[in-house]
Chain A
Amino acid sequence: MAAGERISGRCLCGEATFEAVLEDGAMHACHCDSCRRWTGGVYLYLPVEPASLSVSGGGARFFQSSAFAERGFCAQCGSTLAFRHLDGRSADVSAQAVEDCGRFPFASEVFVDEQPANYVFAGARARLTGAQSQGLIGAAPTAEAAHV
């Protein structure tokens, strides 16, 4: 449960899986419009080392959601799997796809400026706007990846 740990995950139906190496060993939540529409809730993610991410299985697909990034999912069951920048600067995976995900600390919430009024997470942690989280990319690579 720490940075550098190799983890694996799978979709609901089992037709898509991933493996990756954790970057900061923590979980983060993204409230951006795209992540909320994509997940049907709030995207809860684990930053991973971009080069370490492999997504495999007959159901695995990627959707390019912007000029910069793509989103991995299972085309058989619709499960959310991963997000990565096309240039390799950041990548992350769905925490909920990993067994025993309750062990990860909830370290930050990003794109809080796009969070609707319908829900709030309990507890105190770093809360960053989209602009603030994008500024971190490069300065503090991928700890809080911007999901655009």
Chain B
Amino acid sequence: MSEPRPIRSGGCLCGAVRFTARPGPHMDVCHCGMCRRWSGGAFMGVPVTELVIEDESPLGAYASSDYGERAFCRNCGSSLFWRMRDGSAAVASLQAFDDLSGIVFAEEIFIDDKPALYSFAEDTAKLTGAEFMARMSGQEQAGG
């Protein structure tokens, strides 16, 4: 096991939503149709723990499945978090962190939903939606 990574700060484009969280070591890109539409590009997510949001009042949440929701800034529209509605897991936008350094692009999920529009150059592990959901069943984190 590596040393726990330090807590980092982050926020949305307009600054109305500020947070701190302990990021994991890896970032993944989700190519599912929901993440693509929501982000307007390729959502880069970092699993986090100890997520603390300074002021939740500007935060909007959209329940995109019966277990997951997408949280964003209602003032500027920044896509910020995917999280379990029961609070058991959260993924933060890599790009929302003030310091992005050292977080490695390790995995692309829902690769079978990726359009031909773009590809990434990194040598990442690539999982289909079915493979990802199978791996996550029994674990606490899943897309949706």
Taking beta carbons and an 8 Å cutoff, which residues of A are in contact with B? Answer: 10-13, 27, 29, 34, 36-45, 61, 63, 65, 71-81, 94-97, 101-104, 106, 116-123
- Is B79 in contact with A78, judged by CB distance below 8 angstroms? yes
Q: Is the CB of A41 within 8 A of B75?
A: no
- The number of residues on chain B lying at the interface, defined by a beta carbon within 8 Å of a beta carbon of chain A, is 48
Q: What CA separation (Å) do A89 and B143 show in the bound complex?
A: 39
- From B62, which residue of chain A is reached at the shortest CB distance? A77
Given contacts A40-B43, A40-B78, A44-B40, contact A123 B117 (CB under 8 A): no
Contacts of B135 in A (CB 8 A): none
Known: A29-B118, A77-B64, A96-B36. 10 other contacts (CB 8 A): A37-B12, A39-B39, A40-B96, A41-B94, A73-B77, A79-B77, A101-B115, A103-B116, A118-B105, A120-B121
B7 within 8 A of A: no
Complex contacts, B71 vs chain A, CB 8 Å? 78
| Contacting residue for B94 out of A63, A104, A118, CB 8 A | A118
Q: Give the residue name and chain of the A residue nearest to B103 (CB).
A: A118
